[in-house]
Chains A and B, each alone.
Chain A
Amino acid sequence: MRKKIRSKEDEDRRYDEQFNTFLLLRDRIENLLEQYGRADSLAGLGDFSAHYHFVQSDQVKVSVANLDLFQPFIVYQLQDIVKEFPGWEIVYTVALDDHLKDWPDMGLYIRGDEIIDTLQRQYFPKKYQSIEYAGSKRGTEPD
């Protein structure tokens, strides 16, 4: 019985640690992106939204509605941030308002040591089709 209580306490402690890290990383991401775009707000839709959903995984998800925020120098800064959080990743999703239904799921999985690129550039306007991230790996969206 005592063992059970202890393991529940351990589980709670782990959860709290993970949740606090999530909040910290999420705020760092938002602070960075606010330098380049406007966050979604009840006052109106902006260029991005760093979600508060915490699903007990080492991820922070960002919906991005402005392809300018996919410029490599911004993505590399995000990678620098996530490097400080070993094991965590940023799910950086393409979510353009005009193409929420007709474009497939795509985005970047930004980790400290790699970037998984699932962007399907053929859908993008020409000026964004040549975007590349040094050392990134092409991948597909998980099912």
Chain B
Amino acid sequence: MKPPLPRTLSAVPRLPHVRFEIVKAILTLVAPSVDQSCGSLETTAPEDNYALARRIFRTSLREEFYKAGFRSDQPRWRRGSGRRSGRWSGGAGGVITDQAYRRLRGGHHYVPREIFDDLFKKNQLRPETRKVFDEAVTGPLPKGLHKNDRPHREYTKAVLGLWHQFLGRLGIRSEDMTPDQARKFIHEVLHSDDPRISLYNARFRR
């Protein structure tokens, strides 16, 4: 049997709005109080209490995000991307199988599948790393005639440039890349300022 939580923890629901009310109360308590005798403001508001209140608030937010499955290291759409801003953009999470990829049902891979699969076939990419790339996909795209579009080639070239920079910076070869490093690379692709990358990816934002 799990030991019960301390009374002070179990008595108050661990919900953000409840925590927020608690923080507001703490702030009220630590705010400079009025000296009743002469009506002047006390100047000795304890600064460390503000820090304490901030810490409680941030900790409770982090806990709630964690419980909701939020991970700050996952790649997200950048600010200014419309309704998608801040939302997960793929590239993180557990490994998936080829069958699972089929369930993802197509879409745009941020690192084009046709270029990372080739490394995998040549044993230059670990299966678990490949699966991270495989997972970083938009999911089903809306119907459309995929006409002659050369920007795909430019996108590939740009991603390739980033890839070599990334490997160089880390001093690794593709076969050494871990799934975490693959996630970091996808994050760089998603946040790249290179217009060949950002404009191409913008096509797939609905």
Contact = CB atoms under 8 A, between A and B. Distances in A.
15 contacts: A16-B102, A16-B105, A41-B119, A43-B174, A45-B156, A49-B114, A53-B152, A54-B107, A54-B141, A57-B145, A61-B146, A61-B149, A91-B147, A91-B148, A97-B157
Given A19-B102, A20-B102, A52 B114 contact: yes
Nearest to B105: A19
Interface residues of B, number: 36
Interface string B135-153: 0000011111111111011
Contacts of B149: 61, 93, 105
Contacts, number: 119
A15 interface: yes
Interface in B90-116: 102, 105-109, 111-116
Interface string A81-120: 0000000000101010100100001110000000000100
Nearest to A53: B108
Interface of B: 102, 105-109, 111-116, 118-119, 122, 124-125, 140-150, 152-154, 156-157, 160, 163, 174
Band of interface residues on A: 35 or more
A119 to B, nearest CB: 11
A87 to B, nearest CB: 14
Contacts of B111: 42
Among B107, B146, B174, max chain A CB count under 10 A is at B146
A39 B122 CA distance: 12
Contact of A55 (B144, B148, B174): B144
Given A40-B115, A43-B174, A53-B106, A95 B150 contact: yes
